[in-house]
A = this chain, B = another copy of it.
C-alpha cells in the first residue's frame, strides 16, 4: 500500500495555523470576522498545504452544489451535428464560469434515459437545470419542471402549463420569418414558397406563422413540410417545384434546409437568385457562406441565447431563499433576429 498523501483537510490547516476549524472555514469562505494577522496565518497554511475544500462535504451541509445541469434531449442525432447547440453551450458556459458554477451535461438518447435524468436531478447534484426542449411530445421538460427544481428552457416549450410559470429564452422566430418573407416580397417576388421545419417544434411552427403573417392569402400549395435537414429540404423543394409553376422565391426554415433546396435547384438548372430567390434561417457558418450562391439568411445570436439562459437561471437560484418582494424575473425572453444579405436573395 503506497502511502497516498491524501488531500489535506480543514483540520490539518487548522492545526498548522494553530487555530480552530471554524476559523479556517471562515477565512476560506470570504474571511469575514477574522482579524488580519490570524487570517494571514491561515492563508499561509492553506497555501503551504495546498488545501482545497472538499465539495462533497461542503454540499452535504450547505445543500448547494454550485453546479447546474444542461439537459439536451437528442432523439435524433441531428441536434448534435448542429453548431446551433454548440454555440448555445458556449454562451452558457461563459456565463456559468463567470459565476463559479459548473456545467454538468446530460445528453439523453431516448425515452429510456428519462428515468436516469430524473434520478440524477433528484439526487441533488445540481442547483438547477437548463433544458432544451425540442419536441412537443417530449415528456422530459414536464418531468423536470415538476421535479421542483429551478429550470430555464431553451426555446419556447411546446406545451403550455397553465399552473406553472415557464421560464424560457427563445429567438424571435416569427419576427425573423416575417423579415425574410418581406425581403423576398420586397424583391418583387410574387410567388414565395416556404419549406417548413419539423412541425413538432415550436421554432418551426413560429417560422411558418411568420410566413403566414406576411402572406396570409398565399396558396397552401406554396408550403411544403421539411424537417430541418438537407434531405428534407431537397424533398420539399422538389414538391414545391412540381406543384407550383411560377415559383420565384423560397423561404427555408433553416440553412440546412436551404442547402438541400439549393442543390435541387442547381440540379434542375434553375439559377439562384435569378430564377428563384432563396432565404434561410440561422446564419449557420460556415455553411451559409459556403453554399452556391452564399445564402441570404436570418441571423440569431445563438451564443447570447445561451448566456441569457444561464443568467436567468442564476437569478432564480439566488432569489429562491430571498424575500419575495422584488419584481419577478421575466418568464420568457425573446431575442431579436436580423437579416443577413448574401447572394441568394
Q: Is the CB of A94 within 8 A of B109?
A: yes
Residues of B within 8 A of A290 (CB): 230, 259, 263, 287, 290-291
Residues of B within 8 A of A83 (CB): 80-83, 86
| Chain B: minimal CB distance from A286 (Å) | 5
Q: Is the CB of A60 within 8 A of B54?
A: yes
Given contacts A102-B120, A104-B104, A259-B290, contact A97 B125 (CB under 8 A): no
Cα distance A104–B101 when bound, in Å?
Answer: 11
Instruction: Find the B residue at minimum CB distance from A284.
Output: B81
Q: A51-69: which residues lie under 8 A (CB-CB) from chain B?
A: 52-57, 59-60, 65, 67
Q: Which of A56, A97, A104, A119 is most buried by chain B, counting CB atoms within 10 A of its CB?
A: A56
Q: Is the CB of B52 within 8 A of A256?
A: no
**Residue A90 lies at the interface, judged by CB distance under 8 Å to chain B:** yes
**Residue A122 lies at the interface, judged by CB distance under 8 Å to chain B:** yes
Given contacts A86-B81, A124-B54, contact A105 B103 (CB under 8 A): yes
Q: Is the CB of A90 within 8 A of B86?
A: no
> A230 touches which one: B102, B286, B291 (CB < 8 A)?
B286
Q: A206-244: which residues lie under 8 A (CB-CB) from chain B?
A: 230
Instruction: Find the B residue at minimum CB distance from A50.
Output: B122
Cα distance A11–B32 when bound, in Å?
Answer: 36
Q: Which of A53, A59, A290 is most buried by chain B, counting CB atoms within 10 A of its CB?
A: A290
Q: Is the CB of A93 within 8 A of B107?
A: yes
Residues of B within 8 A of A263 (CB): 290
| Chain B: minimal CB distance from A87 (Å) | 7
Residues of B within 8 A of A80 (CB): 83, 86-87, 89-90
Cα distance A93–B74 when bound, in Å?
Answer: 12
Q: Which of A65, A107, A116, A291 is most buried by chain B, counting CB atoms within 10 A of its CB?
A: A107
Residues of B within 8 A of A256 (CB): 286
| Chain B: minimal CB distance from A259 (Å) | 5
Q: Which of A102, A120, A291 is most buried by chain B, counting CB atoms within 10 A of its CB?
A: A102
Q: Is the CB of A122 within 8 A of B52?
A: yes
> A60 touches which one: B56, B104, B122 (CB < 8 A)?
B56
**Residue A292 lies at the interface, judged by CB distance under 8 Å to chain B:** yes
**Residue A330 lies at the interface, judged by CB distance under 8 Å to chain B:** no
Q: Is the CB of A77 within 8 A of B105?
A: no
**Residue A327 lies at the interface, judged by CB distance under 8 Å to chain B:** no
Residues of B within 8 A of A70 (CB): 105
Interface residues of A (CB under 8 A from B): 7, 50, 52-57, 59-60, 65, 67, 70, 74, 77, 80-83, 85-87, 89-90, 93-94, 97, 100, 102-107, 109, 113, 116, 119-120, 122-125, 230, 256, 259, 263, 285-287, 289-292
Give 7 pairs: A residue, B residue, CB < 8 Å, sorted on A. A52-B123, A56-B56, A56-B124, A81-B86, A83-B86, A287-B290, A292-B292
8 interchain residue pairs of minimum CB distance: A56-B59, A93-B107, A52-B122, A56-B60, A292-B292, A105-B105, A56-B56, A103-B105
